[in-house]
Amino acid sequence: MESNTQQPLAYRMRPKTLDDFVGQEHIVGKDKLLYRTIKADRLSSIILWGPPGCGKTSLAKVISETTSYQFKKINAVTSGVAEIKSVITEASNLLMNPSGKCILFIDEIHRFNKLQQDALLPYVEDGTVILIGATTENPYFEVNKALISRSMVIKLEPLKKDDIIKVIKKALISPEGLGNYNIKISDDIIEKIAEISGGDVRTALNGLEIAVLTTKMNAKGEIEITEEIASQSFNKKKSMFDKDGDSHYDNISAMIKSMRGSDPDAAVFYLARALDAGEDPVFLARRIVILAAEDVGLANPQALVVATSAMQAVTMVGMPESRIILSEAAVYVSLSKKSNATYLAIDKALSDVSSKDTGTIPMHIRNAPAEGMKDFGYGQGYKYPHDFPGHYVEQQYLPDKMVGTKYFIPDENIDEKNFK
């Protein structure tokens, strides 16, 4: 049996009204501001920020079906300043558009360059355009600050498994979806599809459609979707994040903070997410080296040795074996005692030398490569520590103005006896 339309299932199942919209209850629940604003057709400029398949474009479509204003859609990848000006000209034509304003939906707005965003700004500012921008990237990094300040930024989350299950079940019975097919599929397999989609409803529906359209009917005239068929239709679980996107920074932050917090399980989990998304293993190794110095430090100096060796090994070995090396280093650093005493020491010293009059180097520890320099006091009075018991002698090293200043302060995780 052929599909009732040539359009993809994910497109056909997009909601037409707010009541059809599934998920994102924190922003479009019936008691929420955005829900009330859309219903009242009193929308101001918004930027929808969230991962693929979470409902950004679907929400824009709902608004297009609801609003009394002209609704225009452009894609930042294929549109330029000329198309923006064309939309503005049409919106400003009171014969064609009595309201004198329009809602402009820009998909992938983060791909607009500065010139394109600047061209849009005056019309957002004077109200000619009510902007709806959709982006998978952090708009605070990628979108003109002036546009951000004139828009409400709304963060959408990956859809919950139950939300995706709800959409799948609706697609299976809807005439606009797969309702014209005699499909046999268990709740367990629907749940597996929802889980493997990684919060992306578009991925779930695309995989389901592939499974249905590539499966022959059985003797009973049914298209039976087995677990094997479902798995083949998705190839592999969708990567948890885009290594080039905003989630890259969130994931590496979580990995670092897990190691700092001495949680090896969480550290390995975020390491696995990074590797699964194609993160550069050398980049990950560098982050472990930095953490070994910054957060483990002298509480376990061996951690820096292990981390540095791991980085060298990763550079030589490459993937997939590097995953083992990175795991060993991440776990070792996680389990090590922690101290940031040396990190605090250098930052305090840098602050002093950049902001204070710290005085001059004492004459007795200055360099005196030429004999005549000693006549001016260079090197005079220096006590060579190896000439004294225990290879130590009390003498002044800091400039006069800095005498008594403490930079390195051993904490409870450092064996202070070894450094006295």
What is the tens place of the pLDDT at every residue in 98-153? 666 788 888 888 888 888 888 888 888 888 788 888 888 888 888 888 888 888 88
Residue-wise pLDDT tens digits, 29-81 = 787 788 888 888 788 888 988 888 888 888 888 888 887 787 888 877 777 77
Q: Is residue 367 part of a domain?
A: yes
pLDDT at 1 over 60: no
Q: Do 120 and 168 fall into the same domain?
A: no
Res 290: pLDDT: 96
40 and 151 in a single domain? The answer is yes
What DSSP string describes 47-71? EEE--TTSSHHHHHHHHHHH-SSEE
Q: Write the Ramachandran bin of 278: left for phi over 0, alpha for psi from -120 to 50, otherwise beta.
A: left
Residue 387 lies in a domain: yes
Domain that holds residue 375: 341-418
Confidence class for position 226, pLDDT limits 50, 70, 90? confident
Looking at the domain assignment, is residue 239 inside a domain? no
- What is the distance of C-alpha 258 from the center of its chain? 16
Domain boundary among 155, 181, 214: 155
Q: Which residues lie below 8 Å from residue 91, measured CB to CB, with a gap of 6+?
A: 70, 72, 97, 100, 101, 102, 123, 128, 129
For the entire predicted model, the pTM comes to 0.63
Both 119 and 47 in one domain: the answer is yes
Q: Is residue 32 part of a domain?
A: yes
What's the number of domains the chain is made of? 4
Q: What is the CATH number of the domain that holds 299?
A: 1.20.272.10
- CA-to-CA distance for 399 and 388, rounded, in angstroms? 23
User: Is a pLDDT exceeding 70 seen at residue 3?
Assistant: no
Mean pLDDT of 178-182: 87
Residue 176 to residues 9, 222, 224, Cα–Cα distance (Å): 8, 19, 20
In whole angstroms, give the CA distance from residue 133 to residue 48. 6
Q: Which of 195-204, 292-301, 410-419 has the highest mean pLDDT?
A: 292-301
Domain of 106, CATH number, reads 3.40.50.300
CATH code of the domain containing 353: 1.10.3710.10
